[in-house]
Structure 1
Amino acid sequence: MNNETKEKSESVLISNRASFIQKAWKGAGFNQATSIQEQTIPLIVEGKDVIAKAPTGTGKTLAYLIPMLEKIETSSKNVQGVILAPSHELAMQIYQTIEEWTKNTDIRSLAIIGGTNVKRQVQNLKSHPHIIVATTGRLLEIIKMKKIKMHEVKTIVVDEFDVLIANEHIHNLQNIVKTTLKDRQILFFSATLSEQTETIGKELMKEPIIVEVEEEKLAHSNTEHFFVVSDERDKIENLRKIARIKGVKALTFINDPNKIREIEAKLMHKGLKVGVLSSEVDKNERKEALKRFRTGQFSVLIATDVAARGLDIEGLTHVINWDVPRYSKEYIHRAGRTGRMGAKGTVVSIVTIREISNIKKITSKLGIELKEKIIYKSVFEDKFNPNKRPSPPKRKR
């Protein structure tokens, strides 16, 4: 980015923003905007409905938060902004970001998520939050209790929208939107687009503008992608070996949430401490697991795709595919957890012989160079190629 472009991005996100935004931006150590921020913030400030697609780790949260925070009228006691997330963990991460960016202001925020005491959450609403970050089921429950007035809501953000417009969530989303007035603004943000995006967008939004940022492709990032061949029964041992590699901090993805407890038990039997993120697991246990993983108390966190959506875990060195992703977009979301903001990352797929073709098909579609490696003495090494065997030294006569 040249100096002229840098000055332009700073003028959009700093010079023309409220003083508390400028202070938080500088305090976070940012010196220039990302592409998704440059393209969406002016549109959101203008009041446009936006569908935004950008790779993970490119600053999507601040792209919608900065203009939302500026619109808040602190003299009002009503809810003015609602942010919807597909998981408790992502909702809390967004809430914590809001808390950090609104220090020393009169902006009040509240997280409303399932699995916690609903009466306590209703009680917390008496603090008159301006922004609510929520999972859809619990928010709709409290709306039906008539404990939240939605008529003053100016902006609704749907984070990881391709999850929340899926069949099992879309009715909650539609019913929440219906409780607001028609002049509200709706923003969709995600790393991938769904086939339903355009249809749902036309139904819920007013002439939405679609913004797609593609320049930070997986194929050109600092993330290395490879696979390790394993029998199904040996995947546990291979995961244990990876966890024992010095400095590893790995997020491991499982397709079937019903298998997570079984895999956890087998790893624990091998003497490996792990944490679990899944809708099948108690919320408090998930919260504790994420906390302990972030602080380095164990090196492996096992998760499903939905539970780990949008999570930003600092210092994550590896993403491990225990199961091959079912779709290429799942690979994108998984891989995006590591190698963020220019850091180095590694994506390892532990596959059986039958699964090799599946993982190659997905990575080929995404333009990713995929190598085969082995785990040897706690190190990943390229698979031995007999054609490259060095010639033995000649014997001295």
Structure 2
Amino acid sequence: MILEQLPINWQNKCQEHGFTTSSPIQEVVFSPITNQKNVVGISPTGSGKTLAYLWPSLLKVKPKAGLQLIVFTSSQELGIQVAEVARDWGKDLQLTVQSLIGGANIKRQIERLKEKPEVIVGTPGRILELIKQKKLKIHSADHLILDEADQLLQKGTVEFISEILRQVSNTAQFSFFSATAEVALPAIQKIVGTDFELHDVTKITQTNDQVTHYFLQYPKRQVVDALRRMSHIKEFQAFVFFNQLTELGITEEKLLYHQVPVASLASDQTKELRKLALSKFKKQELKELLTTDLASRGLDLAAIPYVINVEVPMTKESYIHRAGRIGRMGATGTVITIVQDQTIKDLKKLTRDLEFPLKEIFLYEGQFSTTPKEKSTFSKEKKEISQKSTKTNKNRLSQTEEINLKKEPKKKSKNKQKNQKNKGARKKVKA
């Protein structure tokens, strides 16, 4: 077990953090990363990928020897989080970790670079900006890690990565990690060719067994009402995911109008606002954190019980990463996707290849239920009351009919006599 191979002070730290065993991804990549191999690590969200690449990588870094390790992250929030973890473990090795995150004060970052950090964690855009300003030289970096590699190598970001890689040595080591890194393999091959080891432990990693997946049929025009109702459920707290930023903004305004404690995490916000929203969410001051796929990658917030998709995610990878915000390292959680008649087929098609059962859930009586309303305990009581009411009405109706029936023959008799007179009169006229 790799925990036994760690330095004594790290072993003590593992005990402090409650790590009694290492995860599959941590086990399989430790040796190849240590031995300078290029690695592609694929493992479910919440399975310990950050420490999987940081442990062997940090152990290779030499103190006071200049920049050696760069970790690229797909978002500011993930960058901040990874930098905090790297500092926590790096301080025991006398290593300096510098975060270079977009949205942060660039002058302050430039000032801190004078400390000559051995490790840099940052977003591609900010790192490239500092390189172009000649404030950062990365030619000495001999190991580059791409966390959430499939997202970093998408169009729009891969151009930054490619330009940065021109500044490093041809002998540099690369590590790529993600829950869905297989979709990035063509892009990875353009960087390292076929010279890499692929380690996919998805099938042997048991991290999301306690996460249940549901769909909730609800009219699209009433989605805000659904979110408002959910916020009143006991111990409810959720990541609420949107496909479109405009829809997120409109929904946030409506929920705040109804005094629901929510905030948003969006790409058009300042770093301070995003940090404040995350802080309040962590402190459980918010019931719902409204966001897009921006927050679907890497964020590790303990004990969040729900993920709500207000509509069907655009891709299977998006669904996987959103669901990965809960159920981390074996914790329980619930994923609910809101659908309508025309979108339920899209959800079933999207999740067809994912190995989990998709069930229907219902929202009423101030709670979630897997039982349709008409079969619930509450509804049975209402049904009994309704049946009693119907029985009483039937009895009243029977009494009324009885009275009417007694009167009816007389009415029919009068009509009959009238008809007979008319018939006779018509005959007389005819004659």
Paired with 2:305 and 2:219, the residues of 1 have a C-alpha distance of: 24
Partner of 2:273: 285
Alignment match of 1:52 (pick from 41, 45, 51): 41
Percent identical: 33
- Indicate conservation of the 8 Å contact 2:148/2:181, yes or no: no
Partner of 2:324: 336
Partner of 2:140: 152
- Indicate conservation of the 8 Å contact 2:142/2:173, yes or no: yes
Partner of 1:314: 302
Cα 1:219–1:190 change in 2 (3 A) is closer
Partner of 1:73: 62
Cα 1:225–1:218 change in 2 (3 A) is farther
Alignment match of 2:178 (pick from 190, 207, 231): 190
The 3-state SS of whatever aligns with 2:352 is: helix
For 1:59, give the aligned amino acid.
G
Q: CA deviation at 1:213?
A: 1.2
- Indicate conservation of the 8 Å contact 2:213/2:336, yes or no: yes
Q: CA deviation at 1:126?
A: 1.0
| Largest Rg, 1 or 2 | 2
Partner of 1:62: 51
Paired with 1:346 and 1:241, the residues of 2 have a C-alpha distance of: 17
Q: CA deviation at 1:219?
A: 10
For 1:204, give the aligned amino acid.
I
What are the superposed Cα offsets for residues 285-330 of structure 1, whole Å, 9 maximum, x if unpaired? Answer: 0010001100111111011113331101111100000121111111
Return 205-214 or 262-271, whichever deviates more: 205-214
Gaps of 5+ in 2: 389-431
Instruction: Tell me the number of residue pairs that the alignment of Structure 1 and Structure 2 aligns.
Output: 382
Paired with 2:169 and 2:181, the residues of 1 have a C-alpha distance of: 26
For 2:176, give the aligned amino acid.
F
Cα 1:125–1:21 change in 2 (3 A) is same
Partner of 1:100: 88
Alignment match of 2:186 (pick from 199, 202, 214): 199
- Indicate conservation of the 8 Å contact 1:191/1:333, yes or no: yes
The 3-state SS of whatever aligns with 1:354 is: coil
Q: CA deviation at 1:216?
A: 5.8
- Indicate conservation of the 8 Å contact 1:317/1:338, yes or no: yes
Q: Does 1:43 align with 2:32?
A: yes
The 3-state SS of whatever aligns with 1:311 is: coil
For 2:284, give the aligned amino acid.
G
For 1:45, give the aligned amino acid.
T
Q: Does 1:18 align with 2:7?
A: yes
Partner of 1:361: 349
Cα 1:151–1:20 change in 2 (3 A) is farther
What are the superposed Cα offsets for residues 20-65 of structure 1, whole Å, 9 maximum, x if unpaired? Answer: 3323222211111111011111110111001111100100000100
The 3-state SS of whatever aligns with 1:365 is: coil
Partner of 1:32: 21
Paired with 1:67 and 1:26, the residues of 2 have a C-alpha distance of: 18
Paired with 1:45 and 1:302, the residues of 2 have a C-alpha distance of: 40
- Indicate conservation of the 8 Å contact 1:236/1:266, yes or no: yes
Alignment match of 2:198 (pick from 206, 210, 213): 210
- Indicate conservation of the 8 Å contact 2:308/2:337, yes or no: yes
The 3-state SS of whatever aligns with 1:364 is: coil
The 3-state SS of whatever aligns with 1:52 is: strand
TM-score after normalising by structure 2? 0.84
Partner of 1:5: none
For 1:231, give the aligned amino acid.
P
- Indicate conservation of the 8 Å contact 1:20/1:105, yes or no: no
Structure 2 matches for 1:168-187, cutoff 5 A? 168-187=156-175
Paired with 1:148 and 1:157, the residues of 2 have a C-alpha distance of: 18
Cα 1:226–1:211 change in 2 (3 A) is same
Q: CA deviation at 1:386?
A: 6.3
Partner of 2:151: 163
Paired with 1:290 and 1:283, the residues of 2 have a C-alpha distance of: 11
What are the superposed Cα offsets for residues 193-228 of structure 1, whole Å, 9 maximum, x if unpaired? Answer: 354x23222221260111111236799711111111
Partner of 1:4: none
Partner of 2:391: none
Q: CA deviation at 1:111?
A: 0.8
Q: Does 1:384 align with 2:368?
A: no
For 1:106, give the aligned amino acid.
Q
Alignment match of 1:251 (pick from 239, 261, 271): 239
Alignment match of 1:241 (pick from 207, 229, 232): 229
Return 357-366 or 234-243, whichever deviates more: 357-366
Paired with 2:27 and 2:208, the residues of 1 have a C-alpha distance of: 21
Cα 1:283–1:344 change in 2 (3 A) is same
Q: CA deviation at 1:362?
A: 1.9
Normalized per residue, the structure richer in helix is 2
Paired with 2:219 and 2:4, the residues of 1 have a C-alpha distance of: 57
Partner of 2:209: 221
The 3-state SS of whatever aligns with 2:361 is: strand
Paired with 2:208 and 2:56, the residues of 1 have a C-alpha distance of: 30
Gaps of 5+ in 1: 1-8
TM-score after normalising by structure 1? 0.91
Cα 1:366–1:218 change in 2 (3 A) is farther
Paired with 2:208 and 2:126, the residues of 1 have a C-alpha distance of: 40
Return 98-107 or 172-181, whichever deviates more: 98-107
Q: CA deviation at 1:171?
A: 0.8
Paired with 1:194 and 1:318, the residues of 2 have a C-alpha distance of: 27
Partner of 2:398: none
The 3-state SS of whatever aligns with 1:284 is: helix
